[in-house]
Amino acid sequence: MNQIDLNMVDWARAQFALTAMYHWIFVPLTLGLSFLCAFYESLYVRTGKEEWKKIAKFWMTLFGINFAIGVATGIILEFEFGTNWSNYSWMVGDIFGAPLAVEGIVAFFLEATFFAVMFFGWNRVSKGFHLFSTWMVAIGSNLSALWILVANGWMQHPVGMIFNPDTARFEMRNFWEVLFSPVAIAKFTHTTSSSFIVGSLFVITVSSWYLLKGRNTEMAKKSILVASVFGLLSTAYAGLTGDESAYVNAFTQPMKLAAYEGLYNGKAKADLVAFGILKSEKMPGDDTNPFLFDIKLPGLLSLLANRDASSFVPGIKDLVYGNTLEKIVGVNAKMERGKMAIADLAAYKNAKKSGDTAGSAQALEKFTVNKDYLGYGYFAKPEESIPPVKLTFYSFHIMVSLGCFFTFFFLVFLYLGYKNSLERHRWLLQLGFISFFLGMLASQAGWVVAEVGRQPWVIQNYLPVHIGTSNIAAGNVQATFFMFLGLFTLLLLAEVKIMLKQIKIGPEEV
């Protein structure tokens, strides 16, 4: 095996994280705001009141600005698979490319077909067809997310595939198994529901600014009422889908679950950490308390993870070093089997190349026994299987804490909006003004949990991150990292400037 430049690996990871996090500034707003535009226009068509049309057109304008810039960052993100992650792309292109192709052919064309009608079809097509187009853009935007999250879900829980030892590639065996993977479903439902919250918070932020300034007050109040209802329903939905995500993690990615709960030593009737501060010196092999301070809910983690409050939840120590009593195989044993799989795969290729039919058959049979541990063979020590615990833990608890806060936030805005007394509570409007930024923080934290928590895998159990990279110089990736940093920052500043200009103009000129 060629020597791997770990410096290049770090820069490739940093560049992909940079692109993904910038892209994720635009995506949740697109997903959430698209449905809010459809709701506002539906109220216009149903009531015939021009004020709802004006509201719908105003939010559509902001949606369009965000959508256009989000597409640019998404395209760059997909290109990076071929530039910095060519080994990964080669090994999984048959599977990973399929949902992305469907996303481009079906969902993106669905958006593109109706996008022009949505923006330029006012007074050119019937009310009904224009409303239909707006709903198709909303549905198409979220279907795009579906196929991308199916691809991401497969990386975290590879199903519906076989490994071809002749080409060293993973090949699709069952498309429907990939599509309906429990991880893919959980990721799609939780990601979209959290994005609906972000969209609702954006509407409340802009509307709160109008009310604080005493401008467009009727438009702002009506916008807040609809956004509060949508946001409140979305928080309930996000809570249910988040619970399902944790349940799925318990049996597909138990190390991720242990990391975001700070669970080093597994236990029956495991407690859920509501709040905690981790010790920086904590190591998985020692028996010290991992927390400087914590508040726990007794037995709740076992209930959420296994639907049984008395069940055993494995910790990081159990997963790394094994637990005979609970029949948990440690990483050391998996590494041994993984190294045998790598050796047997090499022996199979050599035997086949030399024409040794019996030898190749024997090597293939031995490889098949250990192939599910293939990725572990690339580890030098068991501790390499542990993700960054502190970053995963704090990101998870930021996400959950803000999610709980948003439930009460939407309730208060809905109640006071219904009572038409929002303007009397300037402190609440000031909180509403920053709520979108809190929503983005929670959304970004959720993706940190999802992606950092699954480290060191690019494909769970089969391909570590450092094996999936391209064979290029670290300096090349470093240079493009700073190029993209500058480009994305300019795009973000451009969006903010255009958005602020449109918001200051208000709905009158839309």
SS3 6: helix
Confidence band of 145 (pLDDT split at 50, 70, 90) = confident
Residue 242 vs residue 68, higher pLDDT: 242
SS (H, E, C) 412-476: HHHHHHHCCCHHHCHHHHHHHHHHHHHHHHHHHHHHHHHHHCCCCEEECCCEEHHHCCCCCCHHH
C-alpha span between 76 and 246 (Å, rounded): 31
> What is the residue whose two structure tokens read 């200009």?
501
Tell me the average pLDDT across 105-114.
75
pLDDT recorded at residue 3: 63
**Cβ–Cβ < 8 Å for 462, 88:** no
C-alpha span between 268 and 311 (Å, rounded): 5
154-177 pLDDT tens trace? 999 999 999 898 888 899 999 999
C-alpha span between 233 and 265 (Å, rounded): 37
Counting beta carbons within 10 angstroms of the beta carbon of residue 433, is it exposed (0 to 12), middle (13 to 18) or buried (19 or more)?
A: middle
Who's near 442: CB < 8 A, 6+ residues apart? 194, 197, 398, 399, 402, 403, 406
C-alpha span between 191 and 146 (Å, rounded): 9
In this predicted structure, the answer to whether residue 348 has a pLDDT above a threshold of 50 is yes
Q: Identify the weakest region by mean pLDDT among 99-103, 304-308, 506-510.
A: 506-510
**Cβ–Cβ < 8 Å for 171, 94:** yes
Beta 169-172 vs 291-297: how paired, if at all?
Answer: unpaired
| Backbone dihedral angles phi then psi of residue 181, each to the nearest 5 degrees | -55, 140
Tell me the average pLDDT across 117-126.
88
Confidence band of 510 (pLDDT split at 50, 70, 90) = very low
Q: Identify the weakest region by mean pLDDT among 100-109, 246-255, 284-293.
A: 100-109
**Apex 409 CA angle, 407 and 410, nearest 5:** 70
pLDDT recorded at residue 242: 93
In this predicted structure, the answer to whether residue 496 has a pLDDT above a threshold of 70 is yes
Tell me the average pLDDT across 188-207.
96
pLDDT recorded at residue 415: 94
26-43 pLDDT tens trace? 899 999 999 999 999 999
Q: Identify the weakest region by mean pLDDT among 215-229, 234-248, 382-396, 468-482.
A: 468-482
Confidence band of 509 (pLDDT split at 50, 70, 90) = low
pLDDT recorded at residue 491: 86
How does DSSP assign 232-286, residue by residue? HHHHHHHHHHHHHHHHHHHHH-HHHHHHHTT--S-EETPPEEEEEEE-TT--TTS
Q: Identify the weakest region by mean pLDDT among 101-110, 180-189, 296-305.
A: 101-110
Tell me the average pLDDT across 384-406.
94
The mean pLDDT of the chain is 90
Confidence band of 1 (pLDDT split at 50, 70, 90) = very low
**Cβ–Cβ < 8 Å for 227, 36:** yes
pLDDT recorded at residue 383: 92
| Backbone dihedral angles phi then psi of residue 276, each to the nearest 5 degrees | -165, 155
In this predicted structure, the answer to whether residue 487 has a pLDDT above a threshold of 90 is no
292-335 pLDDT tens trace? 999 999 999 999 999 999 999 999 999 999 999 989 999 999 99
Tell me the average pLDDT across 417-440.
93
